[in-house]
Amino acid sequence: MKKSRFSEEQIIGFLKQAEAGIPVKELCRKGGFSDATFYKWRSRFGGMDVPDAPRLRELEQENAKLKRLLAEAHLDMHALKSALGVKR
């Protein structure tokens, strides 16, 4: 996945500015990002405060690790079934 050039703290700052009343078009022009990017950020980070961003990062890393473990377990199960044969 492509790394954003803005940190989570900066993104939350932009969202707070929009909530304060700055028009989205003007905010996007000043920040150098598109409207679509702003709305994508709002769906992901909306309602968060700056201290919540590191916790979100930790949870995403933990979730990725658990998904990898589950995928490996399913591969092992599939390999055992194919090696031992399936009951008919």
| Domain residue extents for the chain | 1-49, 51-88
Q: Are 50 and 10 in contact (CB under 8 A)?
A: no
User: Residue 18 — very low, low, confident or very high, per pLDDT cuts 50/70/90?
Assistant: very high
User: Residue 86 — very low, low, confident or very high, per pLDDT cuts 50/70/90?
Assistant: low
Give dist(CA 1, CA 9) in Å, integer. 19
> 0.75 exceeded by the pTM?
no
User: Residue 25 — very low, low, confident or very high, per pLDDT cuts 50/70/90?
Assistant: very high
